[in-house]
Chains A and B, each alone.
Chain A
Amino acid sequence: MDPFINDLVAYWPQILTGLQRTLMLMVIISVSGIAGGVCVFYLKLVKNKTLRKWTEAYISFFIGTPLLVHLFLMYYGLPQLGIRLSAFTVAVIGFTLNVSAYNARYLTTAYNGLDKSELEAAHAQGFTHFETFHLIILPQVMRLSVPSLTNQVIQNLKDTSVAFLIQYHDFFAQMQEIAATNFHFFKAYMTATLVYLTLVSVVVLVARRMERSIALPGFET
């Protein structure tokens, strides 16, 4: 049998654990990123100008600076200030802050395309600012943002691989170990590529199905 296959079989439990960690991180940051994105998006719409400016600054900061720098800052930088966080905690916080900023931007872009007379109608009916947000604005911008949000989920899945640089033992970290141990670089990275491609394909299939299930007349994206 091919020595690489032997290695895969031998390392199978670690690979499986790594895969579980990758998927767990992806699911957590996708959910927290959408929740965070909705919160940041809400803050973009509040009446308080100062709060709106700070929110825009937050979005610009996280979109304008590399994710890896944030992860390194928290994992390697914070201990110098006496704050020690596990690799998993850093990954979840770092990704959430980053993904929330991107998601807020997608939602804001969708919001800019909304017919604002609906919002005036909601206020005229007596809905409060928050009711208008969650009953009128959010259901529409979420629908309009589905392609961008699902692309972000795919991006999240791929980006989890950088977490191995802060000692998070995900799938890619396990493949890296196999490659480095027995020098099967090409086969190991090729296998990793195929596994990521399979996972992304599953996410795409689920996303397209979801898009179809929530499609409404007038919301063709």
Chain B
Amino acid sequence: MKRSNAPIFWLMFGAGGTLAALFGPALVIMTGLAIPTGVGFNPTLMDHAHAMAFGRHPLVKHVLLGIIALFAWHGAERIFLTLKDMHLGSKLTLMWLSYGSAGAVTLAAFAALLAIGF
């Protein structure tokens, strides 16, 4: 029997989904709503100096890479399966499109986090 490569993608999907279910709402409220408007938070929390100090920390780099990559792979799996069920293309095309995008996001995040420096 041919081995399936699906479990690898399920693992990323599951990890990203659990991460999003546990911390997603808090993250979106903080970075997308509360800090930009200053509601309940000091808006300088995400200014350049703070972000730089934050992004240079090795632990923070790992956390950011984990959040960005796993969220991307989680979304990619859902988008891939939905498009496949909608018969919007061959399985291979849709796989390259969705998993390829998630892979590109992962590499870009990795490169940018390195470029921020230590």
Q: Do A and B come from one complex?
A: no
| Chain A interface residues (CB < 8 Å from chain B) | none
Q: Report B's interface with A, CB cutoff 8 A.
A: none
